[in-house]
A and B are shown apart, each in its own frame.
Chain A
Amino acid sequence: MVYDLEFEKPLAELEKKIHALQRKGEHLKPDERIQLLRAEQDLQHRTEEIYKTLTAWQTLLVARHKDRPYAADYIRLICDDFFELHGDRSFGDDHAIMTGPAKLDGTTVFMVCHQKGRDMKEKQYHNYGLAHPEGYRKSARVMQQAEKLGFPVICLVDTSGASPALPDEERGQAEAVAYNLYLMSRLRVPIIAAVIGEGGSGGALAISVADRILMLEHSIYTVASPEAASSILWRDRAFGAQAAEAMRISARELKALDLVDELVPEPLGGAHRDHQLTAANLKAALLKHLAELKQLPVDELLEQRYQKFRAIGKFGRVS
């Protein structure tokens, strides 16, 4: 896989050199063999260095990488079985959110996931992961079903936000998001949310009011997409990078602020370099937290969930 992000330029050059040497195959001279070895070590070293200190904006680029695994990939890689449930029973079926029961390590969980789509056709089908009110209402319906039947809910979050079009307003986008916050805060089964790429604004929060909030190491979670924040703060979308830094949107910074519970490690160079390994890491984290949450009596689970969100916020008092 090529290094194709802006900040990966030095890595791409090293990679080019390595490829050129590798192409010679059997014809490598002894000193070229050493060069190759060195270049490979150098690449590893530089990648580690760069990825250890990604800025918020660079993290966003990784989180949006075109080859990053999406929810459907994780479902395929970590669940033994899955049946997709469609429709909100009211207006339509939103393909920006996938829902349904799945088997995870032998037990049934209900998946509620954003899905972005990879090629142009898929992206259009999934509306780039921008959910309509129907998507949130489908999520609510499926979560209520999980509650009724006593199955835990796992939400995979990956959206730059809820769909901001006029028809979404007509069908009550704000109410659809708000209702999910209300519902999830009191849902009587364990809920785990994992941000796998972009956690964007109310559209992400609408499926992440959970007992545990996990984030993949190079994912982001933000009050508004940095471009939108730039537009709100400075009436210009061009300052996304500055807004991203100031809002501290990267998983690492959010963990340091204690706003999320756990970081799920990604392979060196980002999740897109090894879907299998990333999925295995995510699965292990989900199973660990699921096991912990299952131990709790449901009233205690709900009280802990309430207190978890109740405690978020920083303020002072006038003396």
Chain B
Amino acid sequence: MVKEAIPPTSAQASSADQPKPGVHPSGNLAVKCIKCKELLYGRDWEKNLKVCPRCNYHFKLTAQERIDLLADPGSFVEIDDDIISVDPLHFVSRSEVYADKLEEKRQDTGMNEAVVVGHITIEGLPLALAVMDFRFMGGSMGSVVGEKITDVIEFGIERGIPVLISSVSGGARMQEGLYSLMQMAKTSAALAKLGEAKIPYFSLITDPTTGGVTASFAMLGDITLAEPGALVSFTGPRVIEQFMHIKLPEGVVNSEFALQHGMIDAVVHRRELRHTLAKLLHLYSHNGNM
């Protein structure tokens, strides 16, 4: 069984990035790899954590799938699940009615917003975490995303436990104007406080992470990891191309590019993610130190 393919997202999302459901020649439900166009058995693809076995393309995960991947079974406790977006600017312009779009996305995704926050354990070690979800308006950051992320960082400070943010985002949310931009400052200030409390912060970058999210918490990790082949940049490739009047080669400004230029610590395959985080939580813990 293949899960329903995710419907095309908002204008802030790139619509070409979700698997297209299809029927495999054998008659089983299948998905087509966005990158190498290989037709994949749905079940194999799911078992492979939604990574294409042929080209290693890491499909997007929903926030819930990501939490299931990382957390000890049953350890996830959500906080702030009741916060929802309002429309602070009464944004209505051309075809865009923000209040309607919010309602539509809530219906489509069953989520209140583009991030889920809470705490988990990984191999018994506690971790506060925020996981973004691209389906909700391209994971864009408005007031609620900023608030929930700040809350979970402050939760980490109160409890004295490390914080992980798993990013996937087209950047700041246009429909909340300057409120959105200021969430970059708010979340970064909370991370600075976390740092003063001497608590480690892990940043996980997944495909795609761009704009105001990259230019705030995604790039402030004490340890910054990225999934293979994830688009990661301040400016999106399309805008770079327009600005420079060039055509960018395939795969530039991705995880490997960021690693090569010294911007992140490691590129980690999805299969290794939970294990890597467990190892890091051990290494960054004072327990056992004299």
What residue in chain A is nearest B196 (Cβ atoms)? A186
Work out how many contacts link A and B, with CB atoms closer than 8 A.
Answer: 212
With A223-B172, A243-B174 as known contacts, state yes or no: A178 contacts B93, CB within 8 Å: no
Q: Cβ of B263 < 8 Å from any Cβ of A? A: yes
Q: Cβ of A172 < 8 Å from any Cβ of B? A: yes
Chain A 125-165 near chain B by CB (<8 Å), digits 1 or 0: 00000000000000000000000000000000000001011
Query: CB within 8 A of A209: which of B94, B185, B253?
Result: B185
In the complex the two chains form, is B150's CB within 8 Å of A310's CB? yes
In the complex the two chains form, is B243's CB within 8 Å of A165's CB? yes
Interfacial chain B residues near A247, Cβ < 8 Å: 89, 91, 174, 177-178
Which of the listed residues A162, A206, A306, A314 has the most CB atoms from chain B within 10 Å of its own CB?
A: A314
User: Could you tell me which residues of chain B, from 1 to 58, have a CB within 8 Å of some CB in chain A?
Assistant: 11-12
User: Could you tell me which residues of chain A, from 217 to 245, have a CB within 8 Å of some CB in chain B?
Assistant: 221-224, 228-229, 231-235, 239, 242-243, 245
Docked pose: A247 CA to B93 CA in angstroms = 9
User: Could you tell me which residues of chain B, from 128 to 152, have a CB within 8 Å of some CB in chain A?
Assistant: 142-144, 146-147, 150
Q: Cβ of A175 < 8 Å from any Cβ of B? A: yes
Query: Using a CB–CB distance below 8 Å, which chain B residues touch chain A?
Result: 11-12, 82-86, 88-89, 91-96, 112, 142-144, 146-147, 150, 170, 172-186, 188-193, 195-196, 211-212, 214-220, 233-235, 239-240, 243-244, 246, 248, 252-253, 257, 261-263
With A317-B82, A317-B84 as known contacts, state yes or no: A233 contacts B144, CB within 8 Å: no
Q: Cβ of A201 < 8 Å from any Cβ of B? A: yes
In the complex the two chains form, is A177's CB within 8 Å of B91's CB? no
Query: CB within 8 A of B181: which of A169, A182, A186, A205?
Result: A205
Docked pose: A178 CA to B203 CA in angstroms = 13
With A202-B215, A233-B96, A309-B186 as known contacts, state yes or no: A223 contacts B235, CB within 8 Å: no
Q: Cβ of A58 < 8 Å from any Cβ of B? A: no
Docked pose: A140 CA to B88 CA in angstroms = 32
Interfacial chain B residues near A162, Cβ < 8 Å: 215, 234
In the complex the two chains form, is A169's CB within 8 Å of B188's CB? no
Interfacial chain B residues near A257, Cβ < 8 Å: 88-89, 178
With A175-B263, A205-B185, A235-B11 as known contacts, state yes or no: A306 contacts B179, CB within 8 Å: no
